[in-house]
């Protein structure tokens, strides 16, 4: 029918694409009612074209009219089902089937009735589609109403276009209108399928499937182009009435066979591409994991070289070519590290200069000069070597059959290795700086501690020496000896001994010795110790707890003594309060006093070793308390500090 035959071949190709999409809807989709009717519409459209293609003027053929009303009816049912996947009720199926049968009977009565039959059936089915559209408006959500109406309008226009061009062909005795309408209908239908959110959600109608499908359908068009001249020859060997029907069925089956084959092959292509991509991602992810575990530059470079040579049999040799002999990059490469000053002025460096390219494959070089330079350095694959964006050399890889996919994977691995190499470099710098800072802090703290220790020891020693000098003079003069000097010397020696013991306690490792006990026993012991001073003890949690009770007693005594000394220095009467309570799996011990409080400017330093505000203090009491609290996996904090109230809170985890 369609002349020239090249136009018919092109339409055949487009229709094969549409049929392949239709079969994919059924094979891969959820087979919703709208998807099924879209499939049937495309099948009937293929049948219509098959009938039209076997006759020179098919409009008076009953088989053509049957295919036409079948195509328009399935379009009407698609309008009913779209977009909410509503299944048409049986009464509508029976009504449209009965009306189609009546129109077909009317068409068969007389060839003169062909024109009115086409006009009436097309108008009738388009009107039904419009009725379905108006009825469903109240069921469409506002978010999808506009898009659904556009799709439905396009389907109704396709119905009318097929009927109008067929009627025009009958009236004008020419096939041109129908010839022009067929590719428009095919392209519009395929576009509606691809753009439909419902169908696209059910099946992956992606470009990676549609584009290969189109190119695979082109051979069918050429086959049709070659077989088209056989139509006239075959027609002479068949009866005139049987040939169009048989030929149309053969063409229809051929279309579907090619469409199914094209869909299957096109579906495999993205899968194979996906398999390669998955292998590439898996390989690079594995290398990334192993590279992250490398702790030195030498270990990372050895891992990179081993990965390339063992995982890619295409690689024969690899070398790190730097621009300058004085360059200190990659000293771990050893014998694989060479120098080529001419490379810095060559085209390879120019190729990598803008930073957009991550490799250069010699066989795919865009110019002969680039290929010659690759040959000069003996490289089939070139990878740039950069340090913070600056190019300092290239990795030259030689081998056989290095294709684009292998080159891409190697470039990705090289980029990953470069990132981890830079990370290790930065980490080395950071560790070096941290080591320098720690050494500086260590020497500063050591010097500060030595001076503090010297001060703490020198003060009582000076007092002891002065008192001993006085006693020495009295003995030399054989005069009376004042025992007060001996008492002072003894007191200072005792104080010096206490300071040394606290230093030893603070400096050595303290090992906790936990045992079962109760806070009632601890509080009772403290009551006896402080029976003669204003210390009030609150209620304590009952039951047995596993703690180091000796260390806890030492800590509380230190806090209570500090509180009593603060009250004594204030010159006013006061009171110390000790409370113990349990919250969940924690014990909170609070020691508060009514003294003058701790000045705000020294509040952050009270736990520092050798820091004290008392002349007779050594600054180790609270530091030891914090050390014991941390050993108990707890904390000690100054929670309240103001005139009239100072409170220390010790929090330790425990299980009853």
Of 56-60, 70-74, 310-314, 328-332, which has the strongest mean pLDDT? 70-74
- DSSP of 424-443: HHHHHHHHHHHHHHHHHHHH
**pLDDT above 80 for 16:** no
Q: Are 323 and 405 a contacting pair, CB within 8 Å?
A: no
Q: Cis (ω within 30 of 0) for the bond into 4?
A: yes
Provide the pLDDT confidence category of residue 19 given band limits of 50, 70 and 90: confident
Provide the pLDDT confidence category of residue 50 given band limits of 50, 70 and 90: confident
Burial of 654 (0-12, 13-18, 19+ CB in 10 A): middle
Provide the pLDDT confidence category of residue 201 given band limits of 50, 70 and 90: very low
**pLDDT above 60 for 577:** yes
pLDDT of residue 101: 92
Mean per-residue pLDDT for 549-565? 85
Q: Name the strands in the sheet holding 337-339, side by side, starting at the edge strand that comes first in the sequence.
A: 337-339, 315-322, 390-399, 381-387, 360-361
Q: Are 321 and 341 a contacting pair, CB within 8 Å?
A: no
Could you identify the residue written with the tokens 């080159």? Answer: 407
Task: Indicate the range of 195-199, 218-222, 257-261, 608-612 predicted with least confidence.
Answer: 195-199
Q: How far is residue 623 from each of residues 98, 389, 507, 536, measured CA to CA in Å?
A: 100, 50, 11, 25
Q: What is the pLDDT of residues 614-629, one digit of tens each?
A: 666 666 778 878 888 8
Provide the pLDDT confidence category of residue 246 given band limits of 50, 70 and 90: confident
**pLDDT above 70 for 4:** no
Provide the pLDDT confidence category of residue 1 given band limits of 50, 70 and 90: very low
Provide the pLDDT confidence category of residue 200 given band limits of 50, 70 and 90: very low
Dihedral (Cα; 185, 189, 195, 196), 10-degree rounding: 140
Handedness of CA 169, 174, 179, 181 (dihedral sign): negative
pLDDT of residue 433: 78
Q: Cis (ω within 30 of 0) for the bond into 626?
A: no
Top pLDDT among 317 and 200 is at 317
Q: Are 323 and 339 a contacting pair, CB within 8 Å?
A: yes
Provide the pLDDT confidence category of residue 102 given band limits of 50, 70 and 90: very high
How far is 589 from 42, CA to CA, in rounded Å?
83
**pLDDT above 70 for 238:** no
How far is 586 from 263, CA to CA, in rounded Å?
69
Q: How far is residue 39 from each of residues 22, 51, 85, measured CA to CA in Å?
A: 5, 19, 14
Which helix (H) or strand (E) element contains residue 161?
helix 142-172
The share of the chain scoring above pLDDT 70, in percent, equals: 78
How far is 249 from 255, CA to CA, in rounded Å?
10
Provide the pLDDT confidence category of residue 142 given band limits of 50, 70 and 90: confident
Average pLDDT, the chain: 78
Q: Are 179 and 129 a contacting pair, CB within 8 Å?
A: no
- DSSP of 218-259: HHHHHHHHHHTTHHHHHHTTS-TTHHHHHHHHHHHHHHHHHH
How far is 119 from 103, CA to CA, in rounded Å?
10
Would you call 406 helix, strand, or coil by DSSP?
helix
Residues with Cβ within 8 Å of residue 144, at least 6 apart in sequence: 83, 197
List the domains of the chain with CATH numbers.
Answer: 5-273 (no CATH), 297-431 (3.30.450), 515-653 (3.30.565.10)
pLDDT of residue 45: 83
The share of the chain scoring above pLDDT 90, in percent, equals: 5
pLDDT of residue 2: 46
| Cβ atoms within 10 Å of 24's Cβ, excluding its own | 26
Q: What is the pLDDT of residues 481-518, one digit of tens each?
A: 677 767 777 777 776 666 666 665 555 566 777 888 88
Of 45-49, 124-128, 295-299, 498-502, which has the strongest mean pLDDT? 124-128
Q: How far is residue 341 from each of residues 3, 321, 362, 376, measured CA to CA in Å?
A: 68, 9, 20, 13
Could you identify the residue written with the tokens 């030492």? Answer: 554
Among residues 132, 133, 104, 131, the alpha carbon closest in space to that of 120 is found at 104
How far is 616 from 613, CA to CA, in rounded Å?
9
Top pLDDT among 32 and 534 is at 534
Phi-psi map region of 2: left, alpha, beta (phi>0 left; psi -120 to 50 alpha): beta
What pTM value is reported for the model? 0.44
Q: What is the pLDDT of residues 447-477, one digit of tens each?
A: 666 665 665 666 667 767 777 777 777 777 7
How far is 308 from 331, CA to CA, in rounded Å?
19
pLDDT of residue 570: 80
Instruction: Print burial letters for 181-214: b (CB count within 10 Å at least 16), e (below 16).
Output: bbeebbeebbebbeebebbeebbebeebbbebbb
Provide the pLDDT confidence category of residue 181 given band limits of 50, 70 and 90: confident
Q: What is the pLDDT of residues 579-601, one digit of tens each?
A: 998 887 888 999 999 888 888 77
């Amino acid at each position: 029918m369609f002349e020239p035959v090249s136009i018919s071949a092109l339409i055949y190709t487009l229709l094969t694409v549409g049929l392949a999409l239709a079969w994919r809807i059924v094979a891969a989709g959820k087979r919703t009612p709208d998807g099924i009717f879209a499939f049937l519409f495309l099948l009937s459209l293929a049948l219509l074209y098959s009938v039209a293609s076997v006759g020179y003027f098919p409009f008076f053929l009953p088989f053509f009219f049957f295919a036409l009303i079948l195509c328009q009816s399935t379009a009407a049912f698609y309008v009913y089902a779209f977009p909410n996947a509503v299944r048409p009720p049986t009464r509508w199926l029976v009504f449209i089937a009965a009306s189609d049968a009546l129109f077909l009977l009317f068409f068969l009565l007389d060839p003169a009735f062909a024109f009115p039959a086409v006009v009436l059936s097309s108008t009738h089915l388009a009107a039904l589609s419009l009725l379905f559209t108006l009825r469903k408006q109240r069921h469409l959500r506002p978010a999808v109403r506009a898009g659904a109406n556009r799709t439905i309008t396009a389907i109704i226009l396709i119905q009318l276009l097929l009927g109008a061009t067929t009627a025009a062909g009958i009236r004008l005795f020419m096939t041109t209108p129908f010839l022009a309408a067929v590719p428009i209908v095919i392209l519009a239908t395929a576009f509606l399928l691809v753009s439909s959110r419902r169908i696209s959600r059910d099946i992956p109608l992606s470009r990676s499937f549609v584009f290969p499908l189109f190119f695979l359908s082109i051979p069918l068009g050429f086959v049709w182009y070659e077989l088209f001249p056989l139509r006239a020859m075959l027609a002479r060997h068949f009866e005139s009435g049987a040939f169009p029907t048989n030929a149309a069925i053969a063409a229809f089956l051929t279309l579907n066979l090619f469409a199914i084959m094209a869909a299957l092959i096109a579906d495999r292509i993205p899968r194979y591409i996906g398999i390669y991509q998955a292998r590439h991602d898996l390989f690079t992810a594995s290398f990334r994991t192993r590279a992250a575990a490398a702790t030195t530059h030498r270990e990372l470079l050895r891992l990179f070289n081993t990965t390339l040579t063992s995982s890619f049999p295409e690689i024969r040799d690899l070398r790190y070519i730097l621009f300058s002999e004085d360059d200190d990059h990659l000293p771990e490469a050893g014998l694989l590290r060479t120098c080529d000053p001419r490379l810095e002025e060559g085209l390879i460096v120019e190729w990598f200069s803008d930073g957009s390219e991550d490799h250069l494959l010699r066989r795919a070089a865009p110019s002969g000069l680039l290929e010659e330079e690759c040959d000069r350095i003996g490289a089939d694959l070139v990878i740039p070597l950069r340090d913070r964006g600056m190019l300092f050399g290239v990795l030259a890889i030689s081998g056989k059959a290095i294709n684009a996919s292998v080159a891409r994977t190697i470039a990705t691995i090289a980029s990953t290795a470069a990132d981890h190499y830079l990370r290790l470099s930065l980490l080395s710098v950071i560790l070096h700086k941290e080591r320098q800072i720690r050494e500086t802090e260590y020497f500063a703290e050591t010097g500060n501690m030595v001076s503090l220790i010297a001060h703490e020891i020198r003060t009582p020693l000076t007092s002891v020496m002065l008192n001993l000098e006085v006693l020495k003079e009295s003995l030399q003069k054989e005069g009376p000896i004042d025992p007060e000097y001996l008492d002072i010397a003894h007191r200072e020696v005792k104080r010096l001994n206490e300071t040394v013991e606290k230093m030893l306690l603070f400096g050595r490792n303290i090992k906790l010795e936990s045992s079962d006990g109760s806070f009632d026993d601890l509080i009772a012991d403290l009551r006896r110790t402080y029976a003669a001073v204003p210390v009030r003890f609150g209620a304590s949690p009952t039951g047995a707890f596993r703690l180091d009770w000796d260390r806890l007693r030492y800590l509380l005594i230190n806090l209570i003594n500090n509180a009593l000394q603060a009250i004594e220095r204030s010159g006013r009467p006061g009171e110390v309060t000790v409370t113990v309570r349990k919250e969940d799996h924690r014990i909170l011990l609070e020691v508060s006093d009514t003294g003058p409080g701790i000045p705000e400017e020294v509040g952050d330093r009270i736990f520092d070793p050798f820091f004290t505000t008392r002349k007779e203090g050594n600054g180790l009491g609270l530091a030891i308390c914090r050390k014991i609290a941390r050993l108990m996996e707890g904390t000690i904090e100054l929670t309240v500090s103001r005139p009239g109230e100072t409170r220390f809170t010790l929090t330790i985890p425990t299980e009853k």
